[in-house]
Amino acid sequence: MSLSIGQTAPDFTSKDQNGNPVKLSDYRGKKVVLYFYPKDSTPGCTAQACNLRDNHQALIDAGYVVLGISPDSEKRHQNFISKNELPFTLISDEDKSVHELYGTWQLKKFMGREYMGTVRTTFIIDENGTIENIIEKVKTKDHTAQIL
């Protein structure tokens, strides 16, 4: 499924790093940065998370809530958060159901082999739950600038 700007962001319920349910619709009234990334503690994903961490106050000041999502377990998310002092929620999507909703679980090619994996994508969702922007060419070290 391919989403586009102006569409309603698909609602979902999944678990955060502490096992608490997270529903996208609970964030109505706020702007949401929903970023899909492949794997905790890998170089690109760490650079992206740390860029969002270092600029978190600017995002809050602009009215955004940051939600990261990957197929990692809650435990891996906890380790990633404490290691990098991340001030935002990470969502565990081990069954890839949210990835499927957003079209971010796709066939990828790397060094000649094909495999299914997360396509690094960020969805900017407005206060009404509408997709305002989709960032597909994510610059991991300068991601906040792309959002703001």
Q: In this predicted model, what pLDDT tens digit does every residue of 71-82 receive, in sequence order?
A: 999 999 999 999
Q: Does the annotation mark 45 as catalytic?
A: yes
pTM of this prediction?
Answer: 0.96
> Could you tell me the residue ranges of all domains in the chain?
13-147
Q: What is the pLDDT of residues 14-53, one digit of tens each?
A: 999 999 999 999 999 999 999 999 999 999 999 999 999 9
Select which of 9, 32, 45, 81 is catalytic.
45
E-only strand ranges, the chain: 13-16, 21-23, 31-36, 64-70, 89-92, 105-110, 113-118, 121-125, 131-135
13-147 CATH: 3.40.30.10
